[in-house]
Structure 1
Amino acid sequence: MRYPNFKVKVSNVEEPVKFVFVDLPVDVGFPVSVVPSHKLMEIGVKPIDKIKLSLADGKEAIRDIGVVFFELMGRRTVGPVVFGEEKDKSVLGVTVLETLGLMFDPQTGKLKPKRIRF
């Protein structure tokens, strides 16, 4: 299934006045969000660790990971972000989507509020 792109505000958690807008497709099958490295460096986000990922072709890759604010549809949360390399697919992962209290509706192709249960 092909997911539509959504305009997401990505901000530096240490200096929230530093931000970029990124068009990201939602991928409910991918847990973490991926933003191009150059966009993250542009706003001063620094890697805090590395993460091992499985790529679409079955190969494994190691990428830097950091933390940013994500804003979408008037909601804001802090979450992990993978520093995407040139050929990596940018994506808004399900972890951030769920902490924003949103879900993707495949019938309409839109995001809608989701009740968070605990």
Structure 2
Amino acid sequence: MGHVTVRVKLGNPVSKSKEKVVDKALVDTGSTFTVVPRSIATKLGLRSLGKRRVETANRSQLLDQSFASIEVDGKNTVTPLLISGTLDKILIGVITLEALGLMVDPTKGTLKETETLLL
């Protein structure tokens, strides 16, 4: 399976006047959280609400936590996210996908709607 990229619109849920449209965000089903570069978080005015230690393929990192409004394929939600000082692109994680009611369609390399399970 190849990479799935999507057009994403991120915003500050507190101050809706600042918005950033990012043409290509990578959907990462191996990532629990959505991760944004610090430069985007700064541009949106996203505040750090705490820290979270995460394990990556290379090492353990301590990242800032925040929230953002996000739109993918016409669906909107407010999602928790992590802010990275080393990442140069947006990664869309599983929490965000599930909140949007979306999943990866591996046969087409796109996103498709899915039911939300409350089990």
2-side partners of 1:89 and 1:39: how far apart? 9
SS at the partner of 1:38?
A: helix
Deviations 1:8-37 (A, max 9, x none): 111101012211122211111110001111
Amino acid of the structure 1 residue aligned with 2:6: F
Output the TM-score relative to the length of structure 2. Answer: 0.91
| Stretches of 4+ aligned residues off by more than 4 angstroms | none
Q: Residue 26 of structure 1 aligns to which amino acid in structure 2?
A: V
Instruction: Kindly indicate whether the alpha-carbon contact (under 8 Å) linking 1:9 and 1:20 is maintained by their aligned counterparts in 2.
Output: yes
Aligned to 2:79: 79
Change (3 A) 1:2 1:85: farther
- Native 8 Å contact 2:2 2:109 kept in 1: no
RMSD: 1.4
Residue in 2 that maps onto 1:47: 48
Instruction: Report sequence identity in percent.
Output: 31
Matched, 1:96 2:119: no
- Alignment gaps of 5+ in structure 2: none
Normalization by structure 1: what TM-score?
Answer: 0.91
